[in-house]
Amino acid sequence: MTVTGGTTTALTRLRADGDAPVDISRVPAREAAERELSKPMYHENDPNLLQRGLDRFWEWLDELFGAASGATPGGVLGLVVVVLLVAAVAAALWWRLGTPHRAPRTGGDSLFADGPRTARDHRSAAERHAAAGRWNQAVQERMRAIVRSLEERTLLDPRPGRTADEAAAEASRALPSHADDLRLAVRAFDDVTYGGRTADEPAYRRVEELDTALERTRPTLDPATPGTPT
């Protein structure tokens, strides 16, 4: 062990009065120096625990970036380019998929969350939301009106826990001419309910028009034959 700095002071204090040096072997001298250097007076300006931890963190971070830049083609510049590309991809996915809220439920009443109501009730609620400019809620209520209306017309069996996707798939067999519109309406419903998206008036009007069209369409038993308006 090499002791520097305070060693000279420690050994100086070991001299006897009259500057006569004390003959002392290496091991006892080292132990005496360590005892002397362990006194608080020699550590008043030492960094505290937090400072030492920060120093170690920055050293580790510097080593990490140094290793990463060494393994990346182009060195530090290449590493910066890779980080920027990853950030750009993450931003694009965030913009495309929206803020995640909750996943669609496969169990429970995910479409009719507030208890049974008639199609007329849902339509009235949708119109109130639309009049107030609350397009998300308007789309949701109009989609619920569509599914409830199909249940009331016995085109769908009332089934708790049915999702909008399941309802559209089942209704498309009886109303094949509206299968594409049903899928688009369900997508609008899922976007605002589960995907964190925001609907607008055109999105609501499309669902509203589909609701009106379905009311005027007769079901068909042959999936290959479109329904005939009454």
Residue 45 scores a pLDDT above 90 = no
Residue 136 scores a pLDDT above 90 = yes
User: Residue 107's pLDDT is what?
Assistant: 38
Distance CA 22, CA 140 (A): 94
Q: Does residue 174 or residue 110 have the better pLDDT?
A: 174
Residue 192 scores a pLDDT above 80 = yes
Residue 99 scores a pLDDT above 90 = no
Query: Is the CB of residue 138 less than 8 Å from the CB of residue 189?
Result: no
User: Residue 228's pLDDT is what?
Assistant: 41
User: Residue 226's pLDDT is what?
Assistant: 42
At 36, which helix (H) or strand (E)? helix 26-37
State percent of the chain over pLDDT 90.
26
User: Residue 183's pLDDT is what?
Assistant: 93
Residue 40 scores a pLDDT above 80 = no
Q: Nearest to residue 125, comparing CAs of 108, 106, 112, 140?
A: 140
105 residue type, one letter:
R
Average pLDDT of the residues in 23-32: 69
Residue 148 scores a pLDDT above 80 = yes
Distance CA 196, CA 187 (A): 12
Q: Does residue 70 or residue 90 have the better pLDDT?
A: 90
Q: Nearest to residue 122, comparing CAs of 136, 104, 140?
A: 140
Q: Within its chain, how far is the Cα of 23 from the centroid?
A: 72
123 residue type, one letter:
R
Residue 216 scores a pLDDT above 70 = yes
Q: Across the chain, what does the average pLDDT equal?
A: 74
Distance CA 164, CA 187 (A): 9
Residue 212 scores a pLDDT above 60 = yes
Angle at 31 between CA 29 and CA 32, to 5 degrees: 65
76 residue type, one letter:
V
**For residue 157, what pLDDT band results from cuts at 50, 70 and 90?**
confident
SS3 letters for 54-81? HHHHHHHHHHHHHHHHHHCCCHHHHHHH
Query: Is the CB of residue 184 less than 8 Å from the CB of residue 206?
Result: yes
Q: Does residue 21 or residue 162 have the better pLDDT?
A: 162
User: Residue 73's pLDDT is what?
Assistant: 60
